[in-house]
Structure 1
Amino acid sequence: MGRVAVIGAGMGAMAAAARLAVAGHRVTVYERTDTYGGALRRRERDGFAFDTGPGLLPLPAVYRDLFVKTGREPLEECVELVQTDPSARHLFPDGTRVDLPNASRAGVVAALEQSVGRGAGERWGAFLVRGREAWDRTRRPLLEEPLWPNWDVLAGREPYPSVPHRRLLRTRRAATLAQVGEWELGDPRLARLLESHALAYGLDPRTAPASAAVLPYMEHAFGLWYVRGGLRELARAVYERCLARRVEFRFGAEAVRVVEKDGRAAGVELADGTLEEADHVVVGVRPDLVAGPHTTAAEGEVAPGPAGGPVPGRLTVLLALRGAGEADAVHRTVVHSPDREAELEALTGAPPAGERSSVVPTVTVLRPGDPALRPDDAHESVVLTATVPAGTDAREAELRARLMLTAAEAAVPGLRERLLWHEVRTPADVRRETGAEGVPAPALAGGGAALLRPGNTTGLVNLYRAGGWSHPGGGLPHAGMSGALVTGLIVEGPDFRGSV
């Protein structure tokens, strides 16, 4: 077996490192910062603790598989997983409130019938059936296999099914997620519910392909989970699994270039000029952040496209509150923007910064109610997140944070009176920690390949890509899948066609 150099200690990179070590390779991870986990960070202050990256875990089976394949202790022995119920409370501009049960189609249908109105649950349930069809058509090529050489099949083929149109007496196929909401759901609140899943990844539903319907389907089908102590605990568990498999970590070691020799990847060059030899190199960061031939596409592979350009970022506001949460507080509340069109225009960066910073965004309010994240039972830690345009500066971020606080008052009664202090984390803060300020979206079929990510193989032999900026895209489950795909390609070779 050979030496493997992994660039970055994000979740996809560590998933690859652990699996490759079990396969017998000598693996070294080079991380430019002083810690692991990528976007899974924690902020601690005055006895409060906050997840500054993702706060919930969809599709935990990906990490269960990682732990099964890399050791004797299953995931549940290393972290405590808790299924959140309800999965979310949605607050709409007209005052409608709906609590959606976790992983229960029947429960969701009933909740929507009661809160939104007669027929709403039936329409949403029918939509979920079509979302499942899109999922079934794309699951294997987009999640469980390396990107096909003939990836253009995925670019042009829309997996979301056609829907009969009563008045036209024929079927029609939605091209975008917004069209799905407009044509099929029959209520602006249901359309907002649908679009919020795309907005969370910085996708504009007016341009996102209809196949983005798999995002709400995944949540409803497989549920949402919380890791006791915060999602940072999942990063810790994966890191410790790597150490147990004798993966070496080099923190404060920034890889700036992939070394090429005789047409193959031969190692990495660090910022201090040190050359580290390797038989295989895995780029676990955004591809364009490391110099080398992998930054351009080889014939037949997907060009980096949106992975290398500006994409929307995530604005996070950390709240330290006095007093315990109310009895009916829920883990996650989505407070929908009062002006959808203005929000989407602001997200694309079309208006000047001064105008877009006055638009109230859709805000996600996370209230874990976890004793590990607060000084005592007389306090509460809360995290607000919103998607913001690329290039949002500190001044604009502060203005938007004020609007987020105002929106969050609908989800947290008495928020202003309870507030001890708050911190604003901008996309620039994320960039300092991870090297990229944007929110990588999951790979999606259709849409002319705009949301296909660069493949796990490259134009250079023995050079691979893993993590959210490569196939199969962003999100914790997708990052973990990328690690499995890279492992299969290294262990089994270029003929590998399925996840390990």
Structure 2
Amino acid sequence: MARIAVIGAGMGAMAAAARLAVAGHRVTVYERSASYGGSMGRFERDGFVFDTGPGLLHLPAVWRDLFVKTGKEPLEQCVRLVQVDPSSRHVFADGTEVSLPNASRAGIVTALESALGAGAGERWGEFLGRARDAWDRSRRPLLEEPLWADWGVLGRDPYPAPRRRRLLRPRQASTVCEVAAWELAEPRLAALLEGYALAYGLDPRHAPASAALLPYMEQTFGSWYVEGGMRELARAVYERCLARKVEFVFGAEVTRIVEKDGRAAGVELAGGTVAEADHVVAGAEAADLVGHELWRDGDVRPQQGVGSGQLPGRFTVLLALRGARPVSAVHRSVVHSPDAGAEAAAVFGGRTAERPTVTVLRPDDRRTRPDEEHEALTLSATVTGHGSAVDWTDASRREGYAELLIDAASTAVAGIRERLLWHETLTPAESGPLPAPALAGGGGRYLHPANSTRLPGLYLVGGHAHPGGGLAHVGMSGALVAGLIVEGADFRGSQ
């Protein structure tokens, strides 16, 4: 039985902790805040309850697998999953609207054909077929296996873009924007695809064509809501950890990773207390916690592939509304920017977009509101990160941008201002950066650091490590770290 210290109680870290405890190890989680869940937070006021992190679950099989592997009670016995149907409603700049059914390629094709005109649905269906090929080619190395030592082979894009004659010579789309312009060839379909990339923190102008995996994953495996809010999933994972005898120490900030005989040997806490361990799992960025270079020559390094520098973040507005939620209301609506290119240039150029793409979440969940005569709404947009270019602690900037999101949301929610009781804002200053999922292509610039490191005994887990950001991806990172510790160098990936 090994002693394992886990830094942070985020979702990936807890997924690793539960699996390691089941394998017979003694696991202690050190979390500097007062609670678990990382980005899976919750805000409550006056009987209204809001998620402050991800609002929907995609690829739930990742979390079902965790519960199967760590206990007798399956995921659905610990939380209630509700399939969201329609999966999303899209409002485009010209006023066109389309609602896409959940996990039905044929239904999506039909809906797009009806709303956007002849040929639109067919083109999207053909695009999803190519995205499926990219998924089949890259699923194992990007989600289910440790990052290959010869990771350079993942620099090749698995998306089978058709060859087309452009500027008198054959070319293939290599970026999201090129796929949108050359293959979809319809402004609203282009906005749909580019909106997916931006929502995951990717610049559609530069992100590789393999980002087609993101809409494919959602539209194939569906969108799910956890009754009571997504924070309930974090609670269920935390309780599974407790049931497996994982120990949590809250209010415990790790200031240094202790080394002995050339390997990680524990953690030092603020105040000087040292907790010895045989392995250390870092659910937070670990480079500043070691006294030397953490990466080998040729290793994938943090933030590789963020072409313009700073990682983007999420701007969120929580709305308390008077009046009942209409029966016809859709759980998720996306109000698209009239100029996706200008939006991306602003987000990844250190500016605030004048007309952002806004996602509106309005769950039909009595646990999110004080009574049936009120409604809780969440608005969000991908924005430039907090830093010298944009100071998101500035009150006037925060409120001005919140008003911008509310104005955009009024396109999808009638009478929103007349119903508004109050609102709260959350910015990248509080929530931090938005790590994107790992993607093949782009010369490997969209990969994340491997879960194992140059320092023996130190492992990385969560959105800043392989396979990157997103709830499904951090769940897989937990499985990979547990496999590497339990099985060692022989581990070849999750089954």
Q: TM-score, normalised by structure 2?
A: 0.96
1:15-94 to structure 2, matched below 5 A, reads 15-94=15-94
Aligned position for 1:427: 428
Amino acid at match of 1:379: H
Shift of 1:307: 9.1
- Cα distance in 1 between the residues matched to 2:66 and 2:169: 46
Which residue among 300, 320, 327 is the counterpart of 1:302? 300
- Cα distance in 2 between the residues matched to 1:111 and 1:9: 41
Amino acid at match of 1:66: L
Shift of 1:117: 0.6
- Cα distance in 2 between the residues matched to 1:282 and 1:239: 17
- Cα distance in 2 between the residues matched to 1:183 and 1:400: 33
Whether the aligned pair in 1 keeps the contact of 2:164 and 2:170 (CA below 8 Å) is yes
5+ residue gaps, structure 2, are: none
- Cα distance in 2 between the residues matched to 1:203 and 1:161: 20
Shift of 1:427: 1.0
Which residue among 451, 457, 462 is the counterpart of 1:462? 457
- Cα distance in 1 between the residues matched to 2:28 and 2:449: 23
- Cα distance in 1 between the residues matched to 2:280 and 2:473: 20
Amino acid at match of 1:297: W
- Cα distance in 2 between the residues matched to 1:167 and 1:203: 25
Amino acid at match of 1:31: E
- Cα distance in 1 between the residues matched to 2:169 and 2:356: 37
1:267-416 to structure 2, matched below 5 A, reads 267-288=266-287, 290-293=289-292, 296-306=294-304, 310-349=310-349, 353=351, 356=352, 359-391=354-386, 392=390, 393-395=392-394, 396-416=397-417
SS across alignment from 1:214: helix
Shift of 1:166: 7.0
1:234-253 to structure 2, matched below 5 A, reads 234-253=233-252
Q: Verify: 1:159 aligned to 2:158, yes or no.
A: yes
Whether the aligned pair in 2 keeps the contact of 1:439 and 1:474 (CA below 8 Å) is yes
Shift of 1:442: 0.3
Q: State the number of aligned residues.
A: 487
- Cα distance in 2 between the residues matched to 1:247 and 1:121: 49
Whether the aligned pair in 1 keeps the contact of 2:4 and 2:26 (CA below 8 Å) is yes
Deviations 1:402-446 (A, max 9, x none): 11000000111100000000001111121xxxxxx1101000011
- Cα distance in 2 between the residues matched to 1:499 and 1:412: 43
Of residues 15-24 and 398-407 in structure 1, the stretch that sits farther from structure 2 once superposed is: 398-407
- Cα distance in 2 between the residues matched to 1:414 and 1:164: 48
Which residue among 482, 486, 489 is the counterpart of 1:491? 486
Task: Report the aligned-residue RMSD.
Answer: 1.6
SS across alignment from 1:305: coil
Amino acid at match of 1:149: A
Whether the aligned pair in 1 keeps the contact of 2:50 and 2:229 (CA below 8 Å) is yes
SS across alignment from 1:390: coil
Aligned position for 2:436: 441
Aligned position for 1:433: none
- Cα distance in 1 between the residues matched to 2:141 and 2:185: 32
Amino acid at match of 2:181: E
Shift of 1:343: 1.0
Aligned-pair identity (%): 67
Whether the aligned pair in 2 keeps the contact of 1:360 and 1:400 (CA below 8 Å) is no
Amino acid at match of 1:472: P
- Cα distance in 2 between the residues matched to 1:68 and 1:463: 27
Amino acid at match of 1:259: V
5+ residue gaps, structure 1, are: 431-436
Shift of 1:300: 4.3
Shift of 1:168: 8.9
Deviations 1:354-396 (A, max 9, x none): xx36x02000000012100000000000000001111242333
Amino acid at match of 1:461: P
Deviations 1:170-208 (A, max 9, x none): 863211010000010010100110011111122110000
SS across alignment from 2:379: strand
Amino acid at match of 1:496: F
